[in-house]
Amino acid sequence: MELSVQDREYMCSGHVGCPGCGAAIAMRFVLKALGEKTMMIVPACCWSIIAGPYPQSTLKVPVLHTAFETGGAVASGVRAALDIKGDRETTVVTWAGDGGTFDIGFQALSGAVERNEDFIYVCYDNEAYMNTGVQRSSSTPYGAWTTTTPGQEWKKLRKKNIVEALVAHRIPYAATASIAFPEDLVRKVKKAKAVKGSRFLHIYASCPTGWRMPSELAVKIARMAVQTNIFPLYEVENGVRYTINYMPKGYLVREYFKLQGRFKHLSEADLEQIQQMVNEDWELLLRKAGVSPGAAGPVTKID
């Protein structure tokens, strides 16, 4: 696969991410697209660990480890400090997990983007609090097992649609991306870098450990999430202009679910209900993008 990104690596070997870590792959791609002049703000998340214990750092760009709830606020401050120094070249990036974005850091994020602070907020989403031991977050999808939604108490609430929440702030750029679609991901990061104001990237980053699946499927499962419409690839400019980047080929969601241990308790009826939910979300997205369902290829239904 030819990618128009630099060959140079901004991430070192020896980081302590689990084998097959999707968040590590996501970081590699994003830094290749952003380049050297980048400052990373990392609130508490898996990456607080992955980056290495003090005095190590696995990234070749400055990283500021901060408190869980402060991703948006710290980025605002760093941006202001750089502005005072006259550095308009460096891109400020908050790199947060789903817990630090959807739940604990949401207030600071909402505040920062409401002020249209000039930074990129990347949420790498592994759909639960993974480094503390797989506790559910508001990003955990309907149907999933976590240690706080165990056994028959699996999560029976929908995943929060974080991109739509950000779009509601009318920020200049919001997009979803996946580690299984590096070209699309890199293009979106570069596009975000060129925009001024608040930019939000929601990157799907699989977690073999927390999802109870073989590590070698980390990228495949991310691809299937897109192919099944569970995680559609799209971007929204100025809160209104929707573009869908990938049209599905009619894969059923059960193909995605059956590969992961966190979903193994689901019955056929549950899967059917999830398929309906996914179809519903997809049709809603199509309407927002102004695409008629017929033109968008098959929307899958369980027989």
Partner 1 sequence: MTHAFVSQVSTPFIPRSTTTTESNKTGSWRFLQPRYDEKTAPCSAACPAGEDIARVEMLVAQGLFKEAWETILQENPFPGVCGRVCFHPCESVCNRGAFDEPIAIHTLERFVADTAMRYGLQPQRMALPPKSERCAVVGAGPSGLAAAYFLARLGYGCDVFEARSEPGGLLRWGIPPYRLPVPVLQWELEHLQALGVNIRCNHKITGGFLHGLKDRYAAVFLGCGHYKSPALGIAGEDLSGVEEGLPFLERVRSGDLPSLSGTVAVIGGGNTAVDVSRCALRLGAKVLMVYRRRRQDMPAFGHEIQMAVDEGVELMELWAPLSIEAHPDGFRLSLQKMEVVSEEGGRARVKPVPGETTAIVVQKIFKALGNTAEEPWLEPPGEIAPHILHLADTVVSRREDGLVVVYGGDLAARSKSVAHAIGSGKEAAMALDLYFRRGWDAIVEETARCRVGPGPSLSMEIYTGGDRCRRNPHVVAFEEINTDYFLYGPRIIQPRLLVEERLQGFSEIDLKVSAALAIREAERCFNCGVCNQCDNCRLYCPDVAVCRDTSPQGRHINLDYCKGCGVCVVECPRNAMSLVENETGGRP
Nearer to partner 1, 19 or 293 (CB): 19
| Residues written for the chain | 303
Nearer to partner 1, 166 or 177 (CB): 177
Pairwise CA distance, residues 101 & 122, whole Å:
9
Q: Which of 96, 91, 160 is nearest to 131 (CA)?
A: 96
Q: Which residue among 35, 49, 57, 246 contacts partner 1 (CB under 8 A)?
A: 57
- Tell me: does residue 104 bind partner 1 (CB under 8 A): no
208 Cβ contact list (under 8 Å, min separation 6): 18, 19, 20, 21, 22, 214, 215, 217, 218
# of chain residues touching partner 1 (CB under 8 A): 38
Pairwise CA distance, residues 211 & 205, whole Å:
11
Q: Count the neighbouring beta carbons within 10 Å of the beta carbon of residue 14.
A: 7
Q: Which residue among 69, 110, 149, 217 contacts partner 1 (CB under 8 A)?
A: 217
Q: Which residue among 215, 245, 273, 279 contacts partner 1 (CB under 8 A)?
A: 215
Q: Which of 255, 259, 295 is nearest to 278 (CA)?
A: 255
Nearer to partner 1, 20 or 72 (CB): 20
Pairwise CA distance, residues 133 & 41, whole Å:
23
Stretch 180-199: interaction string toward partner 1, x if CB under 8 A = --x-----------------
- Tell me: does residue 208 bind partner 1 (CB under 8 A): yes
Give Cα 262 distance to the centre of its chain. Answer: 19
- Tell me: does residue 25 bind partner 1 (CB under 8 A): yes
Report residue 15 as tokens: 């980081």
Nearer to partner 1, 162 or 180 (CB): 180
Q: Which residue among 90, 214, 272, 291 contacts partner 1 (CB under 8 A)?
A: 214
Pairwise CA distance, residues 286 & 243, whole Å:
9
Question: What is the nearest approach in angstroms of partner 1 to the Cβ of residue 113?
Answer: 26
Q: Which residue among 22, 141, 210, 232 contacts partner 1 (CB under 8 A)?
A: 22
Interface with partner 1 by CB under 8 A: which residues? Answer: 1, 3, 9, 11-22, 24-25, 28, 51-52, 54-58, 60, 63, 179, 182, 208, 214-220, 223
